[in-house]
Amino acid sequence: MLNLKGFIKRRQEGKIRDAEKARQGIRLAFTQRYLNFKTLLSLNDRVLEIINEMEQALEGDPSFGMAFVRAHCTALSVNLFKIIQTLNALTADKNKTLFPVFDGIWAKIDQALKKKRPLTKGEWVLPLEFVDQDMFDRAGNKMANLGEIRNRVGLPVPEGFVITASAYEFFLESSHLQDEINRRIQFLQPSDIAGLYETSSEIQKLIINTALPPELDEAILSAYRELTKKTGPGTRVSLRSSALGEDAQGASFAGQYRSLLNISPEYLGLSYKEILASKYSVPAMAYRLNKGFLDEDIVMCVGCMAMIQAEAAGVMYSTDPGDRGQKGVLINAVLGLGKSVVDGSLIPDLFIVDKKNTHTLHKKEIREKTKKYVCDPEEGTCLESMVESERQAPAISDEQAGLLAGMALRLETHFGCPQDIEWAIETDGSFQILQSRPLLVMGQEAPLEEILSVTQVKQPVILDRGITASPGVGCGPAFLIETTVDMLQFPSGAVLVARNPLPQWAALLSQAVAVVTDQGALTGHLAAVAREFKVPALMGTQTAFQTIRPGDVVTVDATDHKIYAGRVETLLSKSSKKTSPMKGSPVYRILENILKFIAPLNLTDPESGNFTPEGCQTLHDIIRYAHEIALRELFDDKKNISISEKFTKKLVSKLPMEWWVIDLEGGVREGCEGPTLQLEDILSVPLLALWEGLAAVPWKGPPPVDTRGFLSILAESTMDPSLEYGPDSGLSAINYAVISENFCHLSTRLGFHFSTVESYLGDLPAENYVWFYFKGGAADRLRKEQRSRLLRLILERFHFWVQTKGDLLSARLERQEKETLKDRLKVLGYLILHTRQLDMILSDSGKVDWQVKTMLKEISTFVIIPD
C-alpha cells in the first residue's frame, strides 16, 4: 500500500510538473509572440512618425533639403523592411509576398529620388544678338532676358556674349569636379552657417584652382575678340552670373552670385571661374537650401558685356511695390556705377514717376552724396570722393527719370508682369539696360490704413524712421552684425541689425524674424530676398546700429517704419504668419511626388478581397496590412486555442467599448477560468488606475457637430471609406491591455482615434514611467491638430513632457512616485474616453481653450490639479 501510495503521489507530482512545464511553454510561446507584436507596433509608430514629419515639412516654415528627404526615405525603408520581417516571424513566414510588393513601391520612390536634369547640348559661347527669352535653358534667365530686350523689345543693351550652360557642364565634366562637390554638399543644412562657410571655402578653392580646358579658354577669348570688332580694341568688360533659375519669377537669387566689373581680357578666364565658384558662396548655398533648389539644377551661365562708363546708374521698379494702387514707377539713382544701390551701401535718390503720364513726378527725394563708385583705371572699381558741387545735385534729371519710366513700362508690358530693372546712363547721355527680372510686389492682407491705425501701443518707440523694404512685423532679441564671426553666432529668432544691407546677410533670413539696417533702400539685393522670404525689413534708419542695444527685445514694424522696445502684442497679433519659401520648388515637388507612393491609405477594409499584400499600393498600405494581420495573429489564432484561452480574455464592463486582456504574469487573480474577466479579477496596478479614469466621468456621447465640422468629417470620410460610424468600423475593432502586476500596455481604438499607454509602477521611483501616444480623427487636419493642442495643454498642467507633430502627440513622465503616476494614469484614462470624436467641434483655438477649462473642471473631481 505504501508503495502504491508513493507511486500515485509521484504520478500526481509528475502530472503537476508536466502541466506546469506545458503552461510555461505556452507562456513562453505567447510572450515571444507578444514581443514580436510589440516590436511591430513600435516600428509601426516610428514609420507613421516619419511619414508625419515628411507631410509636415510640406506645410511647415523650416526649410528642408534633399538631405532631409533622403534621410527620411532611408529611415522609412529600414523600418518598413523590419516590419515585414517581424510580421513574417509572427506569422511563420505566411507574408513573404510583402517583400516584392515593398520592392516594387520602393523602386518608384528611388526613381523619383534619382531623377536628374539631362545635360545641355550646344555651343559654349553665344553672341547676344542670337539670344532671346526662349534660350533661358542655354543662356540662363538673366542673359536670355537681356537678349530679348535687345533683339525683340528694341531697347539699348551693351554688346556682349554668353558663356553657356554647355560650357559650364563641359568644365565640370572634364575636370571631374562634380562628384567631389556632391560629396561635400550632400549633408549641408541652411541653419549650419559654420558648415556652409567651411564647405564654401573648400569648393570655391577647387574651382578656382582647376584650369579651364584649353578649347573652352580659346572659345571665350575668340568671343571677346569678336566683341572688340564692335566696341574697339582693349574693351573692358563686366562678367555677370546668369544661372538657370536666376532672375525667375519668385526666385531672384538677388545678390547671391558674383558680378565682376571693368575686367581686362587677360583676366577673362580667371574671372569666369570666380563667377562659377560664386555658385558655392555661403549666401548662394543657403538661398538654394532655403528655397528648395537642387544643386544640379543650378547651371551657371555667365554674361560678358562691354563695360559701361556710367555717369549715373541705379535700379527701377516698373511698379512701386509699396503702393497698393500701383500708380507709380519707382527709381533709385546714384552718381557713377550702380553698385552702391544693389549692395545697399548708400541711400540713393528717389524718384516716383506717374505710370499714366511719365512727365509727372509723384515724389522726389535727393540725398546728400559724398562718394561714388567709378571704374578703376587698372582693374575693377573704386570709391571716389565727390566734389562739393556734386553732393547736393540729383543723380538724374526729371526728364531722364521720365525717359527711364517709359522704358520700365515697355518692359512690364512686354514681359507681362512688373519688372526689377538695372540701368545706367553713359557720359554721352545714352541709356543702357543692364538687367530686367520679375518683381515680387509686396502684398498686404489688410488695407494699409487699417494696418497703420494701431493706437494701443504702450511700449516706447526706439526709432521712427526708415524705408519699408519688406512689410510686416517681427519681434525678438536684437543681434548686431558686422562680420563673418557675427554670422556664425547669429541665433534663430533674432532681429538682424546691421549698418549696411550686405547681400551676404541673406544667408540668415531663414533664422531672422526681422531685418533693420542704417543704410539701404527698397531696391537693394537684400531687400529683394527679404521680400521673397517674407521677413519684415526696415532699411535706411541711419542710427539703428548705434541706438539698439544687443540682446534687447524689440518689435520691428517695418510697415509703419517704427521700432518699439519690448514685445508689442497688438501689432504681432495682426501680422501674417510667415510661410515657407519652398512651396513649388524642385525639392518641394520631389517630396510631394514621393509622398504619393508613401502616404495615401488605399487598403482600408480588412474584409475586402483586396486586403492582401498584392493590394498594397503605398508604404502606408503595407503598414496598415501588417498591423491588421498582426492583430489577427495575436487575438484570433484558432490553430493554438490553448494560448487564446489561457492568455486572451474579454473584460466585462459597462464602458461603451470592448476590452481584451492578456496577462503576462500576476496581472489577473489566480483561478480565473473561462473566456471572460470581471474588473475585480484585475490585479495590475497601472490598468486599475487607468480604468478609474475611464470610469470617473460618464461619457455623454458624441458632441453636437456644427455644419463645418460635419462637412469636414464627410470630406475626410470620402477620402477614406473606412471612416464610418458604428460598432463594426474597421478602426474601432480591438482595444487590448497586456498586463502584469506592475506593468500595462494599453492600446485603444475609440471611434476614429488611436491611443497607446504604457506604464510601469513599482516601489522604486527611478524605474517608474508613463508614456502616452495619441493620433487620428475623422475631421480635417486643422481640427485634428486643435485636438492635439487640447491634449497638450491639459497634459502639461500635469507636468508631462509633450511633443506634437501635426495631429500626432506623444507624452512622457518618468522617475515619479507610484501614487503620483497613478493619478496621472487616471487623467489619461479620462482623456482617452472624453476626447472621442471631440476633434469634430474644435474649429478654432477659442473652442479649445473653453474645452480645456471644462475638462480640467471634471478632472478635478477625481484628482488634484497641480499648481
Burial class (CB in 10 A: 0-12, 13-18, 19+), 489: exposed
Tens-place pLDDT, residues 284-323: 888 888 777 888 888 899 999 999 989 999 999 999 876 6
Q: Helix (H, G, I), strand (E, B), or coil: what is residue 591?
A: helix
Is residue 53 scored above 60 in pLDDT? Answer: yes
Lowest mean pLDDT among 124-128, 246-250, 646-650, 782-786: 246-250
Tens-place pLDDT, residues 709-754: 444 433 443 334 333 333 333 333 568 888 889 999 888 876 556 7
3-state secondary structure 404-445: HHHHHHHHHHHHCCCEEEEEEEECCCCEEEEEEEECCCCCCC
Is residue 515 scored above 60 in pLDDT? Answer: yes
pLDDT: which is higher, 511 or 163: 163
pLDDT > 90: percent of the chain: 40
Predicted pLDDT of residue 442: 61
Predicted pLDDT of residue 445: 41
* Sequence letter at residue 425: I
Q: What is the mean pLDDT of residues 623-637?
A: 75
User: What are residue 127's DSSP bridge partners?
Assistant: 161
Q: What angle do CA 142, 147, 150 make, to 5 degrees?
A: 125
Query: 858: which residues sit within 8 A by CB, 6+ positions away?
Result: 696, 697, 830, 834
* Angstrom distance (rounded) from CA 747 to CA 760: 15
Of 748, 749, 765, 766, the C-alpha closest to 757 is: 748
The top-scoring range by mean pLDDT among 147-151, 455-459, 843-847 is: 147-151
- What's the chain's Rg over C-alpha atoms? 35
The DSSP result for 446-509, as a single string, is S-HHHHTT-----SPEEE---EEEE--EEEEEEEE--SHHHHHHPPTTPEEEESS--GGGGGGT
pLDDT: which is higher, 390 or 830: 830
* Angstrom distance (rounded) from CA 202 to CA 207: 9
Phi, psi values for residue 334, rounded to 5° = -135, 160
Predicted pLDDT of residue 730: 36
Mean pLDDT of the chain: 83
DSSP-derived pairing of the beta strands 514-517 and 537-539: parallel
**To which residue does cell 524712421 refer?**
465
Predicted pLDDT of residue 247: 53
Tens-place pLDDT, residues 72-99: 898 999 999 999 999 998 888 889 999 9
The number of residues in the chain equals 867
**To which residue does cell 517583400 refer?**
99
* Angstrom distance (rounded) from CA 613 to CA 609: 11
Is residue 783 scored above 50 in pLDDT? Answer: yes
Lowest mean pLDDT among 395-404, 441-450, 581-590, 721-730: 721-730
Q: Are 453 and 571 in contact (CB under 8 A)?
A: no
Predicted pLDDT of residue 579: 62
- The backbone region for 35, taken as left when phi is positive above 0, alpha when psi lies in -120 to 50, beta otherwise, is alpha
Question: Distance of CA 347 to CAs 148, 404, 500, Å?
Answer: 31, 19, 10
pLDDT > 70: percent of the chain: 83
Predicted pLDDT of residue 522: 80
Phi, psi values for residue 217, rounded to 5° = -60, -40
Phi, psi values for residue 375, rounded to 5° = -75, 130
Tens-place pLDDT, residues 373-385: 888 887 788 888 8
Predicted pLDDT of residue 710: 40
Cell numbers placing 248:
525667375
Is residue 446 scored above 60 in pLDDT? Answer: no
Lowest mean pLDDT among 92-101, 227-236, 337-346, 510-519: 337-346
Q: For residue 113, give the H/E element and its range.
A: helix 98-114
* Angstrom distance (rounded) from CA 225 to CA 218: 10
Segments in 648-778 forming alpha helices (H): 685-696, 707-719
Predicted pLDDT of residue 525: 79
Predicted pLDDT of residue 715: 40
* Angstrom distance (rounded) from CA 220 to CA 223: 5
* Angstrom distance (rounded) from CA 223 to CA 126: 8
Q: What is the mean pLDDT of residues 559-584?
A: 79
* Angstrom distance (rounded) from CA 576 to CA 445: 8
Question: Distance of CA 765 to CAs 233, 730, 769, 804, 816, Å?
Answer: 87, 39, 8, 26, 5
Phi, psi values for residue 765, rounded to 5° = -55, -30
* Angstrom distance (rounded) from CA 83 to CA 640: 23
Predicted pLDDT of residue 251: 60
* Angstrom distance (rounded) from CA 467 to CA 501: 12
E strands of 196-344, at which residues? Answer: 237-241, 259-263, 302-306, 310-317, 328-335
Q: What is the mean pLDDT of residues 244-267?
A: 76
Set out the domains of the chain in order of their start, with CATH numbers.
120-307 (3.30.1490.20), 309-441 (3.30.470.20), 455-572 (3.50.30.10), 637-867 (no CATH)
DSSP 300: -
The top-scoring range by mean pLDDT among 116-120, 191-195, 393-397, 804-808 is: 393-397
Instruction: Count the neighbouring beta carbons within 10 Å of the beta carbon of residue 678.
Output: 11
Contacts of 259-262 with CB under 8 Å at 24 or more apart are 260/380, 261/307, 261/337, 261/339, 261/375, 261/380, 261/381, 262/236, 262/238, 262/307, 262/375, 262/376, 262/379, 262/380, 262/381
